[in-house]
Amino acid sequence: MNSAVYRQWKFDAPIVSLCANRNGDWVAAALGDGTARLFPASDEAIEPKIIQLHDGVSLSLQPDADAHAFLSGGDDGKILIIDPAVGETVLLAEHKNQWIDHVAGSADGKYRAYNTGKKIHVLDEEGKAKYDAPLTSPSNPGALVFSPNGKRLAASHYNGVSLWWMNAKDKSATVLAWKGSHLDVIWSPDGKLLLTSMQDCALHGWQLSDSKEMRMQGYAAKIRSMGFTARAKYLATSGAEQVICWPFSGGGPWGKPPLTLGGTDNRLVTQVAPHPKDEMVAAGYDDGMIIMAPLDGRMEVMINPPSAIDKSPIKGLVWNAAGDTLFAATESGTLMLFTLDSVRKALVHTN
């Protein structure tokens, strides 16, 4: 079978991250040469805008507090707001000789946060520091993520996660403790649950109301990509041979086995992208294969065969808000665009 790709672009540098803005109508790809490519998130994407982001490379590319824009933190100490329609950046802040490992924008548009080492800086809508001195994390944070309504900021670190309420004046943190190095963070869409992926290839989670915990082990690799599916029925995760989907409807995943999607074939899922509306997940693998798998047990569809475009792992996978266009980035620097139409056409040809 050939790839169902509708359009593709080959860049001269590796793609380090791929991200959609909060509106879901623009997509940004950060490259290893410090530049970024901006595309409208639809089949109208033809020529990307090219912009220079950092002297070295972007370490963190995220949707901004402004639903239209992106936020990028780099190894040159700069934090940039990117306006994709205009194709320009605004310097929000700069810390010379420091790395900006993580950036985050709150969904209510009020705050932006980033770290320099163990210090977490929070800026208000006017770009002014919210606190007299930065918040501190017990170790370099593994991630910085605002809750879906923007009211709380989470920083994962060694031995747990620290949480701060944005409407509180003081800087005291609530600490969720669990031994080990916590990396990525995800909030459930209703903000009631928080999960982290860990250095030792497991997930850990807390139900915030009563601190009831959950632990999911057995992954072959670190879980680098996760997302809640439509209506938060499942949490789809990478890091295994199959897409592992933990059931969250009906009171939580405790005591329930995960739904596993995709075949088992000695490859590793590197990226998952739940469809924004339908009960389906797109997944990318370490050999470049991409599938679309329905959550109801029907067979998955392969939309990009392994090594069809290049042999490198899928590094980013993103839907637009409308759910009719899927972008996929390979580590070595190819960006692919699939539409539901191009997928349907490719399937017809196969059959």
- Kindly tell me which of 29 and 166 has the beta carbon lying closer to other proteins: 29
Task: Give the shortest CB-18-to-other proteins separation in angstroms.
Answer: 13
| Residue 11, CA distances (Å) to 16, 300, 312, 318 in order | 12, 30, 13, 18
The gap between the terminal CA atoms of the chain, to the nearest Å, is 10
User: Could you say which DSSP state residue 230 is in?
Assistant: G
- Kindly tell me which of 180 and 252 has the beta carbon lying closer to other proteins: 180
- Kindly tell me which of 23 and 159 has the beta carbon lying closer to other proteins: 159
How far apart CA 253 and CA 242 sit, in angstroms, is 18
Task: Give the shortest CB-223-to-other proteins separation in angstroms.
Answer: 12
List, in order, residues 6 or more apart from 222 with CB less than 8 Å away: 183, 197, 198, 199, 201, 239
Residue 348, Cβ neighbours under 10 Å: how many? Answer: 8
Q: What residues line the site for other proteins (CB under 8 A)? A: 12-14, 16, 31-33, 56-57, 59, 75, 97-99, 101, 117-118, 139-140, 158, 179-181, 199-201, 221-222
Q: Which two tokens stand for residue 287?
A: 């050999």
- Kindly tell me which of 13 and 321 has the beta carbon lying closer to other proteins: 13
- Kindly tell me which of 38 and 223 has the beta carbon lying closer to other proteins: 223
For 15, phi and psi rounded to 5 degrees? -95, 125
Task: Give the shortest CB-12-to-other proteins separation in angstroms.
Answer: 8
Task: Give the shortest CB-32-to-other proteins separation in angstroms.
Answer: 3
- Kindly tell me which of 56 and 189 has the beta carbon lying closer to other proteins: 56
How far apart CA 119 and CA 115 sit, in angstroms, is 5
Order the strands of the 243-247 sheet from edge to edge.
226-228, 234-237, 243-247, 259-261
- Kindly tell me which of 73 and 105 has the beta carbon lying closer to other proteins: 73
Q: Which two tokens stand for residue 185?
A: 């963070």
Task: Give the shortest CB-346-to-other proteins separation in angstroms.
Answer: 30
Q: What is the maximum alpha-carbon separation in the chain?
A: 64
User: Where do runs of H (alpha helix) occur along the chain?
Assistant: 340-350
Task: Give the shortest CB-50-to-other proteins separation in angstroms.
Answer: 14
- Kindly tell me which of 208 and 244 has the beta carbon lying closer to other proteins: 244
Whether 135 contacts 119, CB under 8 Å: yes
Task: Give the shortest CB-131-to-other proteins separation in angstroms.
Answer: 22
Task: Give the shortest CB-249-to-other proteins separation in angstroms.
Answer: 31
- Kindly tell me which of 155 and 303 has the beta carbon lying closer to other proteins: 155
Task: Give the shortest CB-347-to-other proteins separation in angstroms.
Answer: 34
Order the strands of the 15-20 sheet from edge to edge.
15-20, 26-31, 35-40, 49-52
Instruction: Report angle CA 215, 219, 225 to the nearest 5 degrees.
Output: 90
